Chains A and B, each alone.
Chain A
Amino acid sequence: MSIIVMLIPILFFVVITMGIGTYMVRSNNKRSGGLRKIKWLLGGYTLVLLLATAFSVTLLPEHVTEGKMVTRSEMDKVQAAQSKIIDRAFAGKLENVKGAFLEKENWSFPFKGSTLDINMIDKEMYGIMVFVEKKKINGVVEATHYYGKSYIDGMDFTDKIESPSLAVDGKTLSIKAPKMLEVSFTKFSEGFAFSQFSGTRNAFEDHHTSVMGNDFILLSVPSDLNITGDVNFVNE
């Protein structure tokens, strides 16, 4: 039934095209001066198309973002690299972060206590992985926020994503959710005949590919400091 419903617009279109096509050719043959009218119509239309193209190519880019697109295979590679690093981090080894992750922000908090509680504000709404690395440092807690490369349909938005807010109050390190980045845009493409050979899009696959990068906080703390909260220790 659904196939029949799908065919109705095609049938409608075929009937319309045949009707217009037959009428136009026949009326052209019958009427004297019809050819001149059609030449004017076609000439006018071609002129409008050329002007629109010139406008679109030269002036429109002032208003639009000519995006530097990343191909699907490149996005797949980045996503695989991120997953591999996170998997290894959960197994206790965090290394080779650069490339797949972007260092977004650094904090350094003076800390003299023996225990640090990690408190996630808005836990129901926001969750971030926290990895703790014990180092030979004294009187300071260092934090770095890493964000995995994030692409929306091939466009890199990692730079625009904000970091959470971190604050130490007493013996508690609070992590507060960042302001949500809301992205809404319209994307133009010339069509499948143009993308078929460029490798940016396959007409037979879901081409709306986006990669939402993982993010995490790496805490570097003195080796004798006790940490409580939802954290994972790495590089011990």
Chain B
Amino acid sequence: MYLTEVKSWDIVKKQYRYKLKSYFGVFTSLVFIQLLAIFFSFNGTGMSGGASNSISYEVNYYSGDIILVFMMIWAFITAIIITTKAYRYDDFSFITNRSISHFSNILFLLSVSIFAGISVYLSTHLFQVLVFYLKDNFSIIKDTLSVTTWLTGISASTLYIFLFASAGYFIGVLIQLHRGFAFIIPTFLFGGLIMDGLGGNPTLFMNVSKFFGAETSFFLFAVKVLVVSIVLLLSSIGISNRMEVRK
């Protein structure tokens, strides 16, 4: 029996609002990383050329691929950062438990993923305008986007970013469980990539990438991303329940 009954969802909402303000700095890093990605994109993502009897051609390709990839890595690292002690301790300013803290974190990651997903599309246009004015080649061809392609594209960008944020959150929680994971995970990750590629025919990285990247049905892609993200986030909650209070 308490004087004031507190609903969990209300605390989640309060914590979420607090985190949006408190972690607002991540948006600054988003701006910096996006500008960095635009700068790197100026090199183009490829070129092709050829000739036949009466035609010779050269095409330079520019795309928003680098911007999206940078945002995925940014989300991964941001999710790791918000699992560190400094940020978790902030939650104890509220009446809370671990699940509430996790849910507000997940809501925060979802919000930044949506913002990042939309800004990937917008920054690709900023990049196009910059290329148009800074490069000499004025024969520019743009892909025409239907409304469906536009909607699925922004949603897919958001889902990719959220998937990486979920993976980062999971790894962040593992590192909080035991500091040793800070060395073990990168060793396995980069070591695995190097070992996989040593034979000249990397399969592990390609298979994982193809599981998501080669999916041509948006519905199935969304299901895959959401299922993997939910598994990662539930695992994070499960793992953190094994931690001591305020560890």
Task: Show the binding face of A for B, using Cβ within 8 Å.
Answer: 3-4, 7, 10, 13-14, 16-18, 20-22, 24-29, 34-35, 38-39, 41-42, 45-46, 48-50, 52-53, 55-57, 60-61, 63-69, 126-128, 150, 152-153, 155, 157, 161-162, 164, 177-200, 202-204, 208, 210, 212-213, 215
Check B73 against A17 for contact (C-beta < 8 Å).
yes
Is B54 a contact partner of A181 (Cβ separation < 8 A)? yes
Which of A22, A190, A199 is the one whose CB lies under 8 Å from B143? A190
Q: Within the complex, what minimum Cβ distance (angstroms) separates B42 from chain A?
A: 12
Q: Is the CB of A25 within 8 A of B57?
A: no
Report A31 CB to chain B, min CB distance, Å: 10
**A63 in contact with B140 (CB, 8 Å):** yes
Which of A128, A161, A186 is packed against the most chain B CB atoms within 10 Å?
Answer: A186
Closest chain A residue, CB of each to CB of B194: A3
Q: Does B2 have its Cβ within 8 Å of any Cβ on chain A?
A: no
Does the CB pair A196–B190 fall under 8 Å? Answer: no
Contact of A185 with B137 in the complex, beta carbons under 8 Å: yes
CB distance from B34 to the nearest CB of A (A): 8
Please list 9 pairs of residues, one from A and one from B, whose beta carbons are closer than 8 Å in the complex, sorted by A's number: A3-B193, A48-B126, A53-B121, A161-B54, A187-B142, A191-B124, A193-B156, A202-B214, A212-B50
8 Å CB contact of A193 from B138, B157, B190, B216: B157
Assess the B137–A25 pair: CB atoms within 8 A. Answer: no
Q: Interface residues of B: mostly helix, strand, loop or mixed?
A: helix
Residues of B with C-beta under 8 A to A190 = 63-64, 121, 124, 143, 145, 153
How far is B198's CA from A203's CA once the two chains are assembled, in angstroms? 23
Return chain B residues, CB-CB under 8 Å to A41.
Answer: 27-28, 31
Docked CA distance A162–B56 (Å): 12
A150 and B29 CA atoms in complex are apart in Å by 46
Residues of chain B whose beta carbon lies under 8 Å from any beta carbon of chain A: 21-29, 31-33, 36, 46, 48, 50-65, 67-68, 70, 73-74, 77-78, 80-81, 86-87, 119-126, 128-129, 131-132, 135, 137-146, 149-150, 152-153, 156-157, 160, 190, 193-194, 197-198, 206, 209-210, 213-218, 221
Q: Which of A52, A56, A180 contacts B55 (CB 8 A)?
A: A180
Between A7, A49, A161, A193, the greatest number of chain B beta carbons within 10 A of the residue's beta carbon is seen for A193
Instruction: Give every chain B residue within 8 A of A16 (Cβ-Cβ).
Output: 36
Nearest neighbor of B66 in chain A, beta-carbon distance: A191
Q: Across the interface, which residues of B come within 8 angstroms of A24, CB to CB?
A: 25-26, 28-29, 32
Q: Are B56 and A180 in contact (CB under 8 A)?
A: yes
Q: Is the CB of B60 within 8 A of A186?
A: yes
CA distance A16 to B213 in the complex (A): 26
A170 to B102, CA, bound (A): 90
User: B238 CB to closest chain A CB, in angstroms?
Assistant: 26
Given A25-B23, A196-B215, decide whether A187 and B129 contact each other with a Cβ distance below 8 A. no
CB distance from B139 to the nearest CB of A (A): 4
Residues on A with C-beta less than 8 A from B33 are 17, 20
